[in-house]
Each structure stands twice: as structure tokens, then as C-alpha cells.
């Protein structure tokens, strides 16, 4: 069945009838694909009639031309499931998406080109964007509502008015989108601030706002700039995200419910950001930097109505009650959360796993950045001869975290998040820095900045120009490398200095969601059955990593971790409930 979806003088029009969108954000790339349907069904139970997703370009095309839209990246299947569940879909393909996602969704091979002006009508940028949008629109176009699918709206760019005002760029994105067969209405989103709404504006785009409070005032501002048609809050922020080293954010569900009620009572349409946040699996977390660089934690729970593991919360129940005042809500019982299996198992060590995934990059006069070495690199070792007989001062623009060793002995850490970019260095013959990129900035002007060692390394203020030997490490491949390493030995005293790979087998009666407690570990990466869960860091606030049920199985399972710093408890513990930094009850 096909329908028509249009923007009228006062409302969205579905087959000519006024229609209110009550949507929730859920990013397919943050949820295991075998759980998409479960999450969509629950979202529908809350009373939603639509689901919104961004598209993460860098996940689909990590290397130029190497396109992947399969498995967890199968946007077409996701949109089909949305349709099967009787929901509408809103697609926001960026190409820039922000979203607390690595590099705001832009591939690192794109942003490595320092000559290019991002998010502008620079022809080189547009050439890459054209091929991306063509691929995505080929998936979206046949799934539009007028072709029997679920898609009712497509957004152009994302909060562009907070960044730029290149109208030729917006015009070209619109032209490309229309030329690719997108016929549904196009929208823009901006914070309800005059210059932002106007900066991101273009003929042919319906303005929507992003905000989570002061509803009346924000709607009034939006109305000033969008005098006709429906008002829509495209991002009703009902929770918030966490950075490492900061507190865990929660919002009072009663306040959020009151704000939602105010929005709906005003007749506005809404996209709840997020209805289900999901997870920054693997190395996909973004970072913010408005004066201080702060990487995002692995969980993107967002304090949303549906938790990271898909449980119904008090916020969910409160939102459902509010929505029921304004629209029909399915009259079905809500699923009750269940505790995850609790077990613990001793980890055995395979020693330093980095040589197993190393690539020798050769010798350089000055240390190259990660971006100069290739796309999507996050871990590199830089080694140079040192010829010092007394303590010196080492300083470097480290992006973002470096373990420093002299003559193979660890001597300290340089870290950007707390501005520690200099240290005393004992005398020795060889200097080595193991540098981790801990997340790329996803907002504002630092999107696409270079990573690794930037601008060289200095000793007492003098650049080290001795030959630098550089090796990079394929971090995603570490999970399998540690699992397959020949011998694993018990960890004496339960303590181990990194880099070290550890693994353990454990039994489950049935496949189940798990919460892996990282409390006794330092800083590193974790896998279960080869699925890359993401980063852990003792800095917190996140303490447990979410293991989606579909990656587990009845019988024997395997957990692998790679600890880069220092681990004080070589045990893998699975606990009943998540611990994202909630206050201890
Ligand atoms: C903005 C962006 C989103 C997200 C939120 C904060 O509104 O458009 O992508 O970053 O902020 O979660």
C-alpha cells in the first residue's frame, strides 16, 4: 500500500489528513541487528508511530570504496522492519551526524585530507559526499511511503547552522537528494537560536528544532523562523551522554514527562532523542572538546526510556502515560526486566598481544600522525633513539593518550583529557611512546583533527629528529589474535601490567544478555565470542560493558580482554545489572 506524506499549511498531511509524528531515535548501528525488532516493538508499545535513525557514513565506508551495508549495517533491513512493525521512519543521512559518534560520522580517510573544507561546497568534499549519498539514497528511495515503504522524512545535514552558512553546500545536498529519487519532505534541524536556524536554512527545507527543555519558549522561536506548517522538535533530549571521567547523567523522569506533555499539548510533532540509545561498540565513540577534550564512554544508554539492554524504565512508563493523553497507545502488558546471569571466571594471560597485529610502518625523521599512516588507526608505537645522561623534560601534543617508556621501562603517561602533555624523562638510550586515539571529536571545529603524535616530540624544548620507527596495531583484530594465541598462563597474584592479552571460557545455560564488570581492570578493550564490545577504563563512570544476548550461546563462550595499562584483578565477572556510574543504592 502506498501513501502520500506532505507538509501542509499547518500540519503534516498523511494522505491529505493532518498527522502528528510521535517518533523516537534509535541508531541501527548502535544496536545488535538481531535485537532491532525487539527494540522497535517496545518503542511501539510506548506509543510511538515512527522511528528515526541517523546513517553513519564512516561505519559503512571505513576505507574509500569499501562499502558495507550488511549485518548490523543493513539499513534497508532496518527500514523494512520498521515498516513491518507498522511504524514510519525518518532518515538523517548527514553526511555529518554529530551523535557522539566517531568523527561525527565522517570517515577518517576523508578528514585526513587537510586541504579539504569539510561541510562546505568544496568540490573535493562534495565528490565524496555524492558517492555516499547516492549509495544511501539507493537504499532509502524505494522504502519511501509513496513506494509502499516506511520513510516519511529525510533530513539534510545536521545542526548546520551551529557550524556554517554555506548555502551552495545545502543547495547541492538538496539537489543530490532529489536527483537520487527522494520525494518525501526534506527537513533541517537546528538549535532554536535565530542565527542557527537561519544558518542551516534553505528553500525546500522545513525547519525543526533540537531541545529538551523550556518547551514553550523554544517552540515560539521555531515558529518565528518557520511561520507555516507543523512544528517539530526533531531532537527532544530526554537524557544525556557520558564522558569518561565525568559523572553519569540521568534526568528525572517526571520532569522529562512534563516537558513531553507540554510539547504534545502544544500540538507539536516530536522525535524523542533517544528512545533507545544503544552502545558505542568497538572503537566508535566520539568525543567533545569545547576547551577540554573529553571522549565518550562505550555505553550510549543516554538514560533513555529503553535502557541499553532494552529494558523498560520508569521514564518509559511515564512517557507512555503522557502519549496516551494525546494519541492511541497499544494496550499490551509491558515486559519486565530480568537479571542477567551472574558468574565469574579467572582470566589467563597470553602475554603482550600487540606483535600479533603489528604493521611496521618504517622510519621517519619526524613522527607521522595516525592520519598520515592510514584510515581508522587508533594505536601506534613510536620509538626513537635517546642519548641522554640526565633527566630531561619530554613534551608532545599527544592525541590522545600515551604510555611512555625508556629502555622498555614504563616511566609515565601523557594524557590530553587532563592536559598532562609534559613529564620528566629519566636518562636512557631509547624512548618509546604507545599512543592511543581515544575517540574523535564529533562536534564543532575540531571534527577531523589529526591524531597520534601531532607536531613532533620535544626533549628540553628541542624536537627529536632521530629516526623514528613506527608500528601500528590492528586493534579490532586483537580479539581473535588473543583467542587463538597458543598458550595461556594463570596470572600470578591476579595482577598484570599491560600490554597484555587475557582470556577465559565460561558456560551459559542459554544465550543471554550479560554485563561484564570491568572494575578490577585499567584501560583497554573487551570482546565476547569475537564480538568487539568496546573500551573500558577505570576512570569511569561506566563500569560494566553490555554484552548483547545474540553474541552469546548455550554452552561454552569466551571472553577476551586486552589491557594496556595495569590490571589488579585478573577475573572476568558478569553481574546481574548494568553499572554505568549510578550512585550506589
Ligand atoms: C545535537 C546533535 C545530536 C546529538 C545531540 C546530543 O542535537 O544533533 O546528534 O549530538 O546534540 O546528544
pLDDT tens digits for range 223-251: 999 999 999 999 999 999 999 999 999 99
Tally of CB atoms within 10 A around 549: 19
Ligand 1 nearest atom to the CA of residue 54, by list position: 9
Catalytic residue at 217? no
Q: Which fold has domain 357-473?
A: Jelly Rolls (2.60.120)
Ligand 1 nearest atom to the CA of residue 273, by list position: 12
Rounded Cα distance between 298 and 85, Å, is 29
pLDDT number for residue 9: 97
Ligand 1 nearest atom to the CA of residue 98, by list position: 9
Rounded Cα distance between 442 and 286, Å, is 6
Reported as a pLDDT band with limits 50, 70 and 90, residue 466 is confident
pLDDT number for residue 500: 98
Do 579 and 518 contact (CB within 8 A), yes or no? Answer: no
Q: Which residue CA neighbors atom 10 of ligand 1 most closely?
A: 99
Q: Give me the percent of the chain exceeding a pLDDT of 70.
A: 99
Give the residue, out of 27, 99, 188, with the most ligand 1 atoms within 8 A of its beta carbon, to mutate for a pocket test. 99
- pTM assigned to the model: 0.97
Reported as a pLDDT band with limits 50, 70 and 90, residue 583 is low
Local structure of 190: helix, strand or coil: strand
Which of 52, 61, 157, 235 is catalytic? The answer is 235
- Ligand 1: distance of its center to the CA of 96 in Å? 11
Which of 52, 100, 159, 436 is catalytic? The answer is 159
Rounded Cα distance between 189 and 208, Å, is 5
pLDDT number for residue 268: 98
Beta strands in 442-530 (DSSP E): 452-459, 462-463, 468-473, 489-490, 496-497, 500-508, 514-517, 523-528
Rounded Cα distance between 536 and 519, Å, is 9
For residue 142, pLDDT over 70 is answered with yes
Given this chain, do its domains 343-351+485-584 and 357-473 carry the same CATH topology?
yes
- Could you give the C-alpha distances from 207 to 7, 198, 269, 465, in angstroms and in order? 11, 9, 12, 53
List Cβ neighbours of 452 (8 Å cut-off, separation of 6 or more): 367, 368, 369, 370, 371, 373, 377, 380, 382, 399, 435, 437
- Ligand 1: distance of its center to the CA of 536 in Å? 23
Among the residues of 14-72, which ranges form H helices? 36-45, 57-60
pLDDT number for residue 584: 45
Q: What residue ranges do the domains of the chain occupy?
A: 5-324, 343-351+485-584, 357-473
Q: What is the distance, to the nearest Å, from the Cα of residue 156 to the centroid of all Cα atoms in its chain?
A: 20
List Cβ neighbours of 123 (8 Å cut-off, separation of 6 or more): none
- Element containing residue 22 per DSSP (H, E): strand 22-25
pLDDT tens digits for range 403-452: 999 999 999 999 999 999 999 999 999 999 999 999 999 999 999 999 99
pLDDT number for residue 53: 99
pLDDT tens digits for range 91-122: 999 999 999 999 999 999 999 999 999 999 99
pLDDT tens digits for range 157-210: 999 999 999 999 999 999 999 999 999 999 999 999 999 999 999 999 999 999
Rounded Cα distance between 440 and 103, Å, is 5
Ligand 1 nearest atom to the CA of residue 210, by list position: 7
User: Which cell numbers in the block locate residue 458?
Assistant: 620535544
pLDDT tens digits for range 508-548: 999 999 999 999 999 999 999 999 999 999 999 999 999 99
Do 54 and 92 contact (CB within 8 A), yes or no? Answer: yes
Q: Cis ω on the peptide bond leading into residue 373 (within 30° of 0)?
A: no
Q: Which fold has domain 5-324?
A: TIM Barrel (3.20.20)
Do 267 and 231 contact (CB within 8 A), yes or no? Answer: yes
> What residues are in contact with ligand 1 under a 6 Å CB criterion?
97-100, 158-159, 210, 235, 241
- Could you give the C-alpha distances from 6 to 10, 18, 263, 282, 478, in angstroms and in order? 11, 10, 21, 39, 49
Q: Does domain 343-351+485-584 have CATH number 2.60.120.260?
A: yes
- Could you give the C-alpha distances from 491 to 371, 526, 535, 539, in angstroms and in order? 36, 18, 22, 23
Catalytic residue at 235? yes
Tally of CB atoms within 10 A around 553: 13
For residue 585, pLDDT over 60 is answered with no
Q: Which residue CA neighbors atom 9 of ligand 1 most closely?
A: 99
For 386-452, what is the HEC assignment?
EEECCCEEEEEEEECEEEEEECCEEEEEEECCCCECEEEECCEEEEEEEEECCCEECCHHHCCCCCE
- Ligand 1: distance of its center to the CA of 403 in Å? 32
Local structure of 73: helix, strand or coil: helix
User: Which cell numbers in the block locate residue 254?
Assistant: 517526571
Q: Which residue CA neighbors atom 5 of ligand 1 most closely?
A: 99
Amino acid at each position: 500500500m502506498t501513501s502520500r506524506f506532505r507538509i501542509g499549511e499547518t500540519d503534516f498531511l498523511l494522505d491529505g489528513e493532518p498527522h502528528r509524528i510521535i517518533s523516537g531515535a534509535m541508531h541501527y548501528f548502535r544496536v545488535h541487528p538481531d535485537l532491532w525488532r525487539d527494540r522497535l516493538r517496545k518503542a511501539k508499545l510506548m506509543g510511538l508511530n515512527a522511528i528515526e535513525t541517523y546513517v553513519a557514513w564512516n561505519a559503512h565506508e571505513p576505507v574509500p570504496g569499501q562499502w558495507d551495508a550488511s549485518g548490523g549495517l543493513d539499513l534497508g533491513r532496518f527500514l523494512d522492519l520498521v515498516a513491518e512493525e507498522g511504524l514510519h521512519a525518518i532518515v538523517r543521512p548527514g553526511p555529518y551526524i554529530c551523535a557522539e559518534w566517531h568523527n561525527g560520522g565522517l570517515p577518517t580517510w576523508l578528514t585526513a585530507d587537510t586541504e579539504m573544507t569539510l561541510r562546505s561546497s568544496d568540490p573535493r568534499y562534495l565528490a565524496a559526499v555524492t558517492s555516499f549519498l547516492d549509495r544511501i539514497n539507493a537504499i532509502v528511495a524505494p522504502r519511501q511511503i509513496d513506494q509502499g515503504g516506511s520513510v516519511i522524512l529525510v533530513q539534510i545535514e545536521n545542526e548546520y547552522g551551529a557550524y556554517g552558512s554555506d548555502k551552495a553546500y545545502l543547495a547541492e545536498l538538496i539537489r543530490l537528494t532529489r536527483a537520487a529519487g527522494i520525494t518525501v519532505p526534506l527537513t533541517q534541524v537546528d538549535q532554536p537560536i535565530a542565527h542557527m536556524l537561519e544558518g542551516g536554512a534553505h528553500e525546500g527545507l522545513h525547519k525543526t528544532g533540537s531541545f529538551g527543555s523550556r518547551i514553550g519558549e523554544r517552540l515560539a522561536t521555531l515558529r518565528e523562523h518557520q511561520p507555516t506548517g507543523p512544528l517539530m522538535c526533531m531532537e527532544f533530549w530526554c537524557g544525556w551522554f557520558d564522558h569518561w571521567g565525568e559523572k553519569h547523567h540521568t534526568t528525572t523522569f517526571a520532569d522529562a514527562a512534563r516537558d513531553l506533555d507540554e510539547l504534545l499539548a502544544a500540538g507539536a510533532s516530536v522525535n524523542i532523542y533517544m528512545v533507545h540509545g544503544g552502545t558505542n561498540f568497538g572503537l566508535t565513540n566520539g568525543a567533545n572538546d569545547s576547551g577540554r577534550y573529553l571522549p565518550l564512554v562505550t555505553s550510549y544508554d543516554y538514560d533513555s526510556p529503553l535502557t541499553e539492554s532494552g529494558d523498560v524504565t520508569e521514564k518509559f512508563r511515564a512517557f507512555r502515560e503522557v502519549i496516551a493523553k494525546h494519541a492511541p497507545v497499544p494496550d499490551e502488558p509491558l515486559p519486565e526486566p530480568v537479571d542477567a546471569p551472574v558468574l565469574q571466571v579467572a582470566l589467563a594471560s597470553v602475554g603482550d598481544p600487540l606483535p600479533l597485529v603489528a604493521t611496521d610502518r618504517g622510519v621517519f625523521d619526524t613522527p607521522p600522525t595516525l592520519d598520515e599512516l592510514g584510515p581508522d588507526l587508533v594505536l601506534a608505537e613510536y620509538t626513537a633513539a635517546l642519548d641522554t645522561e640526565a633527566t630531561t623534560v619530554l613534551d608532545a601534543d599527544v592525541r590522545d593518550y600515551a604510555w611512555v617508556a625508556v629502555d622498555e621501562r614504563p616511566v609515565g603517561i601523557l594524557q590530553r583529557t587532563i592536559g598532562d602533555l609534559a613529564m620528566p624523562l629519566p636518562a636512557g638510550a631509547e624512548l618509546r611512546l604507545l599512543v592511543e586515539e581515544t575517540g574523535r571529536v564529533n562536534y564543532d571545529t575540531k571534527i577531523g583533527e589529526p591524531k597520534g603524535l601531532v607536531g613532533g616530540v620535544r626533549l628540553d624544548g628541542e624536537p627529536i629528529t632521530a629516526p623514528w620507527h613506527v608500528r601500528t596495531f590492528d586493534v579490532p583484530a586483537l580479539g581473535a589474535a588473543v583467542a587463538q594465541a597458543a598458550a595461556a598462563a594463570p596470572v600470578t597474584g591476579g595482577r598484570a601490567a599491560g600490554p597484555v592479552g587475557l582470556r577465559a571460557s565460561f558456560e551459559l545455560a542459554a544465550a543471554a544478555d550479560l554485563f561484564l564488570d570491568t572494575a578490577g581492570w585499567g584501560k583497554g578493550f573487551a570482546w565476547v565470542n569475537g564480538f568487539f564490545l568496546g573500551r573500558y577504563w577505570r576512570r569511569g563512570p561506566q563500569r560494566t560493558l553490555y554484552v548483547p544476548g545474540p553474541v552469546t550461546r548455550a554452552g561454552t563462550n569466551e571472553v577476551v580482554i586486552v589491557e594496556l595499562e595495569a590490571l589488579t584483578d585478573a577475573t572476568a565477572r558478569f553481574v546481574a545489572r548494568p553499572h554505568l556510574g549510578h550512585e550506589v543504592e
